[in-house]
Amino acid sequence: MIDFIQNTLDGITIGAGYALLAIGFTLIFGVLRRLNLAYGPSIMIGVFLGTFIYLHFDAGWLPVAIATVIGAILAGIYVERMCFWAIKEGAALASMVSTFAIWMQLEELVTVIFPERTYKFPTLGEMDYLEFAGLEMRAEHLIMLGIAVLMVGLLHVLLYRTRFGLSVRAVSENPAAARFMGINTGRVIFRAFILASAIGGVAGFLLVATDPTVTPKFGLQATFKGLIAMMLGGMGSIPGAIAGGVLLGIVERHMQAEFGAIMRDMAAYALLFLFLIFRPGGIMAQGVAAREAAALRRV
- In the bound complex, what is the minimum distance in angstroms from residue 291's beta carbon to another protein? 6
| Nearer residue to another protein within complex by CB, 123 or 185 | 185
Nearest to 128 by CA among 141, 111, 115: 141
- In the bound complex, what is the minimum distance in angstroms from residue 89's beta carbon to another protein? 14
132 DSSP β-pair partners = 135
| Nearer residue to another protein within complex by CB, 45 or 283 | 283
Phi, psi of 253 (to 5 degrees): -65, -40
| Nearer residue to another protein within complex by CB, 115 or 182 | 182
213 DSSP β-pair partners = 120
| Nearer residue to another protein within complex by CB, 200 or 240 | 240
**Position 128: which residue type?**
D
Q: What mask, x for binding another protein by CB under 8 A, covers residues 184 to 203? A: x-------------------
Buried residues in 156-175 as b, exposed as e (16+ CB within 10 A): eeebeeeeebbbbbbbbeeb
Examine residue 1 and tell whether it contacts another protein (CB under 8 A): no
- Asked if 293 and 249 count as a contact pair (C-beta separation under 8 A), the reply is no
Residues 6+ apart with CB under 8 A from 135: 2, 5, 6, 9
Strands 135-138 and 129-132: antiparallel
Examine residue 88 and tell whether it contacts another protein (CB under 8 A): no
Q: Which of 77, 85, 135, 169 is close enough to bind another protein by CB under 8 A?
A: 169
Among the candidate windows 32-40, 145-153, 181-189, 270-278, which touches another protein by CB under 8 A?
181-189
Among the candidate windows 77-85, 101-109, 179-187, 223-231, which touches another protein by CB under 8 A?
179-187
Among the candidate windows 83-91, 165-173, 221-229, 252-260, which touches another protein by CB under 8 A?
165-173
- In the bound complex, what is the minimum distance in angstroms from residue 64's beta carbon to another protein? 38
Q: Which of 69, 102, 170, 242 is close enough to bind another protein by CB under 8 A?
A: 170
Residues of this chain that interact with another protein (CB under 8 A) are 163, 166-167, 169-170, 173-174, 176-184, 286, 291, 294-295, 299
